[in-house]
Each structure stands twice: as structure tokens, then as C-alpha cells.
Amino acid sequence: MAFKKKRKKVVRARVLKAPKKKRAPARAKGLKRAKKKVVRTKGEGLKLEKVGEVTHYFPHVKAAAILVVKDGLKVGENIYIKGHTTDFKEKIKSMQLDRVPIQEAKKAQEIGLLVKSRVRIGDTVYRV
């Protein structure tokens, strides 16, 4: 019985090319650019300050897990939640941290918050 020698696989280096830059199409002289479309929302005209982001939603209890990224939140404050399909204002009625009711949330805490409508991961929470 003769033993076969194992052949080593040769791995070839792959050279990646930079993507080509696309040029904007040429416009005819005298034409104006199209105006950008303005989207109107319920929160328009309000002074909004981003305070958090939704990290999870619990549909059975209608609660959202929110990561507080700036300042803090207190029970009784008004918030505005905006996302791709989410768009509503609400007054904070109840907050929890590790299943313990709290009155104030600080920066970098992940809190549970009762909400009146469905929210999705990635929705932004603003203070009104």
C-alpha cells in the first residue's frame, strides 16, 4: 500500500479595487434644482431634545426598554417618540429600573417605560 502525499492548498491573495465614483448627471443651463420634500409630523414646531433610544418592546405589558443617552427623565415629563412607523406624544406615568419603580432616570441607565402605542427598536425618544 502506497501512501498518498497531502497537497497543500495555495491561497491566493485577492486584490480589492476601490469603487468608481459616480458623476452627477449634467443639467441643462437655466434649470433649477428640485426642492427637497418636507415631511410634516405631529412633533413639528416643538423644541425637541433627544434623551433616549428604544432598545426593546414588550407587547403584553405595553412597555418599552429605553436607553437614556442624555440628561435624564422624570415621571410627569412629556416625551415624543419618533421612528419609521412610530409617531406619538405621551406623558410619562410609570418608570422602572430593574423592576423597581423610580421617579427619575439618569444618563446611561436602561429603564422600562409604559407606552400607549407600539414602539420599535431604534425609535428615538425626545423630551418636549
Residues 84-98: tens digit of each pLDDT: 999 999 999 999 999
Model confidence at 36, pLDDT cuts 50, 70, 90, reads very low
Place of cell 407587547: 59
pTM of the model: 0.64
Please give the domain boundaries of the chain with CATH numbers for all domains.
49-127 (2.40.30.10)
CA distance 49 to 79: 9
What are the cell numbers at 10?
495555495
What values do phi and psi take at 15, rounded to 5? Answer: -95, 125
> Above 80 in pLDDT, residue 29?
no
